[in-house]
Amino acid sequence: MARKIPATIVTGFLGAGKTSLIRHLIETARGRRLAFVINEFGELGMDREIIAGCGLKDCREDDIVELANGCICCTVADDFLPTIEKLLNRPDPPEHIIIETSGLALPKPLVQAFNWPEVKARVTVDGVIAVVDAAAVAAGRFADDPTALAAQRAADPSLDHDNPLEEVFEDQIACADLVVLNKTDLVDAAGRGEAGRLVAAALGRGAKQIETAHGRIDASVLLGLGAGAEDDLANRPSHHDAEGGEHDHDDFESFAIDLGPVADPEALEARLIRTVAAHDILRIKGFLDVPGRARRHVVQGVGARFQRYYDRDWRKDETRRSALVVIGLKGLDRPGIAAMIAGA
């Protein structure tokens, strides 16, 4: 029997640095034929675009498949499994498959999907890698408010958390074979220690943690974990085990904003920072059309931290546009946010 093709699942909350980690993985893959399945929350399909726009020679656009429309964990049968089968049936199947889940996806239903007979015979989950924003964890972004939780529990004793971020965070960590504590350059030693402690508490078993900044981990560390995670589901508890994995993502929402050409990205960034502070937005990302520049401008924000750069030239067959996707907890004031970002 042919050896199974390994698949690595890269999970992690919105803005943890999954895309940077994958870009670095491509740079260090040393010619290994990789295929990517990229899943994203929000309408724009940014992550596929960022990876495809990376300009790396080992990165062929054909090898990157996007699964938009919500969360991979909810659409495994309809979208994910046919995608994997299509990759396997290529004349030159990949040597390793990398799956980037959306920041809100739960990894366990995805790992479970690898037990489907058509896939199980040919693929194994080499490892689940959870990328963690150390600064956000240390700042208590994923922590419950004990008072609020006690009050809510009085009404509903089965309640796990009052903070929906904590539930997603814990599900992602508890499923991991390797936790990458990323963005450690943004915290001091005490913050790193605190983040590591909180991650270890969510892990509840002996998975390894490694610290890094900018997702700089070599492919030789990330790939080849040999976990066989699909046969080890019992050791990967989820908050949704009691409901047989049933879950929803109703706590979160996203919407896209079209801006028109942006002559001054710096001024836009200042408005974005003010908007995030005023509206408690989790994530903003998108591309800008900067007049007079051949390249498109990437904007990415996690909380109030923003990053901008020019990536690739706009192609002749695409329309230059400026579009941002905004993600947050349900109840976002869409008109208010759009007006602030537009500078109205």
Q: How far is the CB of 170 from Zn ion (least distance, A)?
A: 15
In this complex, which beta carbon is closest to Zn ion, that of residue 73 or of residue 97? Answer: 73
Q: How far is the CB of 109 from Zn ion (least distance, A)?
A: 7
Q: Tell me how many residues contact Zn ion (CB under 5 A).
A: 3
**32-71 positions binding Zn ion, by CB under 5 A:** 71
In this complex, which beta carbon is closest to Zn ion, that of residue 109 or of residue 127? Answer: 109
Out of 73, 84, 181, 195, which residue is the one contacting Zn ion (CB under 5 A)?
73
Q: Which of 238, 267, 247 is nearest to 342 (CA)?
A: 267
In this complex, which beta carbon is closest to Zn ion, that of residue 41 or of residue 306? Answer: 41
Q: Does residue number 7 form part of the binding site for Zn ion (CB under 5 A)?
A: no
Looking at residue 251, the DSSP 8-state letter turns out to be T
* Angle at 325 (CA atoms; ends 322, 331), nearest 5 degrees: 140
* Angle at 142 (CA atoms; ends 231, 342), nearest 5 degrees: 115
In this complex, which beta carbon is closest to Zn ion, that of residue 233 or of residue 259? Answer: 233
Q: How far is the CB of 168 from Zn ion (least distance, A)?
A: 10
CA pair distance 250, 262, nearest whole angstrom: 33
Helices and strands counted in the chain (H then E): 12, 12
Q: For the residues of 83-145, what is the DSSP string, one character each? A: HHHHHHTSSS--SEEEEE--TT--HHHHHHHTTSHHHHTTEEEEEEEEEEEHHHHHTTTT---
**74-133 positions binding Zn ion, by CB under 5 A:** 74
Torsion, CA 28, CA 174, CA 83, CA 49, rounded to 10? -50
Overall residue count recorded for the chain in this entry: 344
**252-271 positions binding Zn ion, by CB under 5 A:** none
Q: How far is the CB of 338 from Zn ion (least distance, A)?
A: 27
Q: How far is the CB of 107 from Zn ion (least distance, A)?
A: 10
Q: How far is the CB of 67 from Zn ion (least distance, A)?
A: 12
Span between the terminal Cα atoms of the chain, in Å: 64
Binding residues for Zn ion (CB under 5 A): 71, 73-74
